[in-house]
Structure 1
Amino acid sequence: MKHLICRVAAATMVAATMSAPAMADELKFAIGVPANFKMVDAMRYFEETIPERTNGALTTRLFTGSSLLNFTETFPGVRDGIADMGYVVPVYHRAELKESSLLGDLGMVGSNIVVMAGAASEYCLTDAECQQEYLREGQVMLGFTSTAPFRLISKMPIATLDDLEGKRVRSYAAFGRWVEKMNGVQVNLPAGDIYEGFSQGTLDANVHPYEAFVTLSLNDVAGYVTDINLGALFVNALFNTNLDLWQSWDEETRLAVMDTAAEGIGRAVAATLAEDIAFAEKGLVDLEVEVIEPEPAMSIS
C-alpha cells in the first residue's frame, strides 16, 4: 500500500506549499456513522497512533453520528474546514465525484471486499482525474474501504420475484437499478433515515449488510433478510483531508498521515469482513432474524 500512498504525495505536492510542521493541532474528524460501525475502527486506530507518528504534533477528536456533520454534510464540511478530516461517501455526491461514483456503480461485480477496496483505492490514487475531483473540492482523498456485502433486509419474507414486485426498497446506484429491474421501487434515503422509514411504513425493504440489524437498530423494525449477495459499496473514503490543512504540513507529516490512514483502512476492511462472517455463522440466529433463501431468478450472477 505504501507505493500507492507515495503516489498520492506526488499527485498533491504540486498543489501544496511547503511549510513548518503542524504545531499540536487537534484534528476534528467527522465520521457520520454511529460508533459501533466496524469502519470506525480505522479512525480509532488513527486517533491512537497519529500522535506518536508525528511526535505529538497531531491529535484527533472523533465525532461519530451527526454530532459534527452527517453523511451528506461531510463532503462540503471537509472542503470548508468545518471538519479537518471526514468519512465521505462519493455516491452521495455524484455530480462532483464522477470518477469515484463510476467505481461505486461497479459494486455488484465483485464479492471479495478486501480485493475490491484495494483495487478501487489503487485506481483513484493513481488516476489523475480521480485525484483532481477531490482537489477541486478542497480536499485530499487517502483511500477507500468497503462495506460488507449487501443483502435484502425486509419487514416480510422476500424469496421470489413476485414477493419483491412493487416493494419499496431503500437503495441507490447500481443496487437501485437492480431493484427496479426486479420490479421493485427504488427509494432514496440516507442511512440515518432507514429506521424511521421502516417504522412509518414508507419502506418495505433495505439493501444493506447484515450489520445494519445492530448498527442501525433495524432488528427492532425488520425481522427478515434475503440471503443474496448483491456486492458491496467499496468506495468509502474514510480519511478525506482538508486541502488547506494538508498544505500546511511538511512532507514528513503528510507521509505519517497517509501511512496511518492506509493501515487504518486495512484494519477496518478486515474487521468488517470478520464481522460479516460472524453474523452469517451465528449472529443472525442470536438476533432471531429469519434468513430467507431466494429463488435462482433473483440472483445477480
Structure 2
Amino acid sequence: MANRIIVALLAVGLTAASWPIAAAAETFRLTAAAGHPTTLHLIGVFKDFFIPEVDRRLAAAGGKHTITWNQAWGGSLVKFDGVLEAVEQGIIDIGWVGTLFEEAKLPLHSVTYVTPFAADDLGAVINSVHALHDRIPALRRQWDKYNQIYLGSTGVDTYHLYTSFPIATLDDLRGKRLGTPGTVANFLRGSGAVAVSSPIPEFYNSLKTGVYQGVVTFFSAAGPNKLVEVAPHVTLVGIGAMYVGGFTINKQTFNRLPPEVQKIFLEVGAEYTARTIKVQNEAAETARGQMQKAGAKFSTLKPEERARWIASMPNLAREWASRLEAQGLPANAVLKAYLDELRARGQKPARDWDK
C-alpha cells in the first residue's frame, strides 16, 4: 500500500511545481511542530523515529542532501487547533494535524468517530483510514485544499468508561454526567448519560471537584493522567479505537525537495504510521498495568447491556453522511469503504453503520 501511495503522489506532478530543484548538494531548513508535547506518543514517535530515520536514509544515499531541523513541540510555536492553518500558510513546514479538532475543514476524516463499536484493533482502524487515502480521492483533496501533503496516520486505543461509581447495567449511566472531548459526546447518545464537553487535561480536576462523575477516554490517556485516583471504576465497553489525524507537509516545501528526498519522506511516513500503532498499543498496555497497580476496579459491561447501548443509538454515521452529502462530499462512499476495509481486516463491527 505504501508503494501505491508514493507512486500516486509522485505521478500527479507534485515534484514539478514552480520551485527549482537543485542539482547540487543542498541543505534544507525545515520546521516541524505540533500543539502537543512529545509525551503524546504520536508526537514522540515523529521526533524519535521520523526525523532521525529521514536523516539516516539521506546519509545512506550518499549525503548529497541534508536537512537542518527546527523542532517546536508542545505548542511552543503553534497551538493544537492551529496546525492545519500553520502548515497551509508555510509558518511551519511539517505538523501534526488533529483531524478531530478540524471537523469543519476536514469533515470526511471524522468517519471513525461516527462509527463507534466498530473495531478495538488500532492497527485495523489506522490502516483502514490510511488505505482510504488511496481509494477515495476526496480525502487527499481535502488536504490539498489546505496546501499540504499527507505523510502518515495516527490514532488512539479503544475508549472505555472511567467513573466514580460502579456500572453494572446501562441504567446506571442514566442522568450521570460524563466528560467528553468534542465529538466523543456522540458515543453517549442513547446511553442515558449527559455529555459534558471537556478536554482530557481537565479530566482529573473536574472529576475531583464533581463537575462530572466520569469520563469517556482510552487507556493511554487515563493512565498517565492518573484518572483512577478520582474515577476508580473502569468499565470495559470497547467503544473502539479511533483515527485522530496525521502529519502533513506544506506543498511548496515538498515541491522544492529533490525527487529522491520526496520519496524518502513518503516512505518514512508510511513506516511512521506502522510505528505509531505499535507504540500506542504498547502504551495502552503499560497504562492498564499502571492503573491496576493503582487500585483501579476493572469490570466488563455485559454483552447484552453493550448490545442494548449500541441498539439505542441513532445512526450517527447516516446522520453525518447525509449532512456531508448535502455539501457535495462523498461521505457515503467514505463510510462504506471504511467499513469494508475493516471487515477485510477481520473486524466485525457491532453495528452495520453503512446498512
TM-score (norm 1): 0.87
SS at match of 1:34: coil
Tell me which residue corresponds to 1:51. Answer: 55
Q: 1:47-85 deviations in whole A, cap 9, x for unaligned?
A: 211223233522434433323323212222222223221
Q: 1:211-248 deviations in whole A, cap 9, x for unaligned?
A: 213334434543332111110112421x1112221222
* Distance in 1 separating the partners of 2:91 and 2:132: 28
* Distance in 1 separating the partners of 2:31 and 2:207: 33
The one of 19, 22, 25 aligned to 2:28: 25
The one of 190, 210, 214 aligned to 1:205: 214
Tell me which residue corresponds to 1:250. Answer: 258
Task: Report whether the alignment pairs 1:289 with 2:292.
Answer: no
* Distance in 1 separating the partners of 2:167 and 2:287: 19
Aligned CA distance change for structure 1 residues 279 and 190 (closer, same or farther; 3 Å): closer
Q: Is 1:4–1:126's contact at 8 Å kept on the other side of the alignment?
A: no
Tell me which residue corresponds to 1:176. Answer: 185
* Distance in 2 separating the partners of 1:158 and 1:69: 40
* Deviation of 1:127 (Å): 2.3
* Distance in 2 separating the partners of 1:70 and 1:290: 36
- Structure 2 residues without counterparts, runs of 5 or longer: 311-349, 351-355
Q: Which amino acid aligns with 1:251?
A: P
Q: Is 1:141–1:241's contact at 8 Å kept on the other side of the alignment?
A: yes
Q: Is 1:41–1:268's contact at 8 Å kept on the other side of the alignment?
A: no
Q: Which amino acid aligns with 2:176?
A: K
Q: Report matched runs for 1:1-301 at 5 Å.
A: 1-11=2-12, 13=14, 16-17=17-18, 19-20=20-21, 23-43=26-46, 44-54=48-58, 55=63, 57-171=66-180, 175-237=184-246, 239-280=247-288, 282-295=289-302, 296-299=304-307, 300=310, 301=350
- Structure 1 residues without counterparts, runs of 5 or longer: none
Aligned CA distance change for structure 1 residues 79 and 159 (closer, same or farther; 3 Å): farther
Aligned CA distance change for structure 1 residues 139 and 151 (closer, same or farther; 3 Å): same
* Distance in 1 separating the partners of 2:102 and 2:16: 23
* Deviation of 1:126 (Å): 4.0
Tell me which residue corresponds to 2:320. Answer: none
May I ask how many residue pairs the two structures share in their alignment?
299
* Deviation of 1:18 (Å): 5.2
Q: 1:174-203 deviations in whole A, cap 9, x for unaligned?
A: 742230210112233333333443344333
Aligned CA distance change for structure 1 residues 97 and 292 (closer, same or farther; 3 Å): same
* Deviation of 1:136 (Å): 0.8
Q: Is 2:158–2:240's contact at 8 Å kept on the other side of the alignment?
A: yes
Deviates more, 1:10-19 or 1:68-77: 10-19
TM-score (norm 2): 0.75
Question: Max radius of gyration: which structure?
Answer: 2
Tell me which residue corresponds to 2:332. Answer: none
Q: Is 1:145–1:268's contact at 8 Å kept on the other side of the alignment?
A: yes
* Deviation of 1:173 (Å): 7.0
SS at match of 1:203: coil
* Distance in 2 separating the partners of 1:107 and 1:68: 34
SS at match of 1:181: coil
Q: Which amino acid aligns with 1:110?
A: A
Q: 1:138-196 deviations in whole A, cap 9, x for unaligned?
A: 21112322211111122333332222112222336774223021011223333333344
* Deviation of 1:266 (Å): 0.7
Deviates more, 1:10-19 or 1:158-167: 10-19
Q: Is 2:33–2:71's contact at 8 Å kept on the other side of the alignment?
A: yes
Tell me which residue corresponds to 2:315. Answer: none
Q: 1:103-152 deviations in whole A, cap 9, x for unaligned?
A: 44235312221122111101124422111111111211123222111111
**Considering only aligned residues, what root-mean-square deviation do their CA atoms show, in Å?**
2.6
